Amino acid sequence: MALQLYDTRRRAVFPFTPRVSGQAGLYVCGPTVQGPPHVGHVRGAVAFDVLRRWLTLSGYEVTLVRNVTDVDDKIIENAAAEGVTPWALAERYTREFNRAYDVLGVLAPTVEPRATGHIPEMIAMIARLVDAGAAYPSAGSVWFSVGAFADYGALSGQRPDSVQASPEGDDGKRDPRDFALWKAYKPGEPSWDTPWGPGRPGWHLECSAMAAKYLGEGFDVHGGGLDLVFPHHENERAQTALTYGSGNAGGSAGTHEMAQHWLHGGMLTTRGEKMSKSVGNFFRVQDALDTVRPAELRFYLASGHYRSTQEYSGEALQEAAAGYQRLETFCRSVDVDVQLDEPSDEPPGVWDEFAEAMDDDLAVPRALAVIFSAVSTGNKAEGSERGAYVRVVRRMLAALGLDPVSQWPDPGSDLRPALDTAVAVALARRAQARQDKDYATSDLIRDQLAEGGIQVEDTAGGQRWRLG
């Protein structure tokens, strides 16, 4: 099966067919850097990192653009409350988000544009919309005319005449649904000069301008959280269609489509509510990392289907950590070389079953079931057969950014040779004691190792040990 992905606009799964053969262009809505990252923020980053890795493994040259919204109402408000400039606050939290992405193994984007670095592109886009009759200036602001786009509401599944009003102020708006492309200057706010007066960009305009600059007028995948479908992505789609499409204001639908696939990730919830700063039910990334390791948090965030709602709790996090530790123990039980693109001596059918799940709209829960099944079978194998199962399990985990050996090495790996030697000496003494039927000494050695965090398992093939 070739890769298939769900498209929010068409409400079905469709084959991934890139606009340019062999290449994949992705735009992922990044953070509005108004505060520190919480676990809900990074769930989406991990999900799109898995997609990016799978596209790369599938042979595509991937360009991933993840923007930073560094000018916004909340940034301005929070900076004023702290007594700092909006630029200082945005820079501080941009760095915090990037540290969170790095610690969770999220690959850096190909391009990470900031909104404030693309004001000329935004002004040019507004000018085209005004000239086309799809936008109008009023009282220093410029508004997008929702009625100019006949297909408005198609992404979020709303009829144009029933779309809820824009929450933005209605000073000079002709239609309650219209939204701001450019916001008139207010004292104390950042501003830039334009033909329509000083001010700052609207949120929706920012992403359309940056996506077009780095990926072109149309591209393959536009991603973000489910909470962005309306109004953010609905508005992006409309303004992009009337900027680059052949239809004029009020023209027919479908003249230009911004993205072939609109992918939206499910929410991370606590007690049934979306994790959010405004609600106050959020857990910072560091809060989670105080209880589990980074790889375990990544495993937890990646383990659900990207479109599903995932309930966050300390118990769920610990359960995921225990599951990952089981995989980690198996992967470290045999030293094998793993090449992601060169499978060899692997159990037949295992990788194919994993790939089939991943190609089915990134069905990671099914893919993990394949991995755990391979671990169960591999734990019963010995010698080269066990090594073959370790190899395929590591290859599958690496596709998810979760191989504990190559991608998440043990912090004490430099001491591993010395530890291996010391444990081997202890196990040799224990084996001799068992041969001499001195079970008291055998049990004592096992217990002493356990006190040091080394678990010993007696199997048909001999003694095995692991940390933990």
Residue spans per domain, the chain? 19-270, 336-409, 413-467
In degrees and rounded to multiples of 5, residue 201 shows phi and psi of: -75, 155
User: What token pair was written down for 280?
Assistant: 């106050």
pLDDT attached to residue 429: 86
| Distance between CA atoms of residues 222 and 196, nearest Å | 30
| Distance between CA atoms of residues 333 and 370, nearest Å | 19
Residue 82 burial by Cβ neighbours in a 10 Å radius (0-12, 13-18, 19+): exposed
**Yes or no: domain 19-270 corresponds to CATH 3.40.50.620:** yes
The Cα angle at residue 460 between residues 458 and 465, in degrees rounded to 5: 35
Query: Which class does domain 336-409 fall in?
Result: mainly alpha
| Distance between CA atoms of residues 179 and 190, nearest Å | 20
Per-residue pLDDT of the chain (468 residues; tens, 9 = 90+): 799 999 999 999 999 999 999 999 999 999 999 999 999 999 999 999 999 999 999 999 999 999 999 999 999 999 999 999 999 999 999 999 999 999 999 999 999 999 999 999 999 999 999 999 999 999 999 999 999 999 999 999 988 777 777 777 767 889 999 999 999 999 999 999 999 999 999 999 999 999 999 999 999 999 999 999 999 999 999 999 999 985 444 434 445 899 999 999 999 988 777 776 666 677 899 999 999 999 999 999 999 999 999 999 999 999 999 999 999 999 998 877 766 555 667 899 999 999 999 999 999 999 999 999 999 999 999 888 999 999 999 999 999 999 999 999 876 554 455 666 777 778 878 987 787 787 788 788 888 887 776 878 786 667 877 665
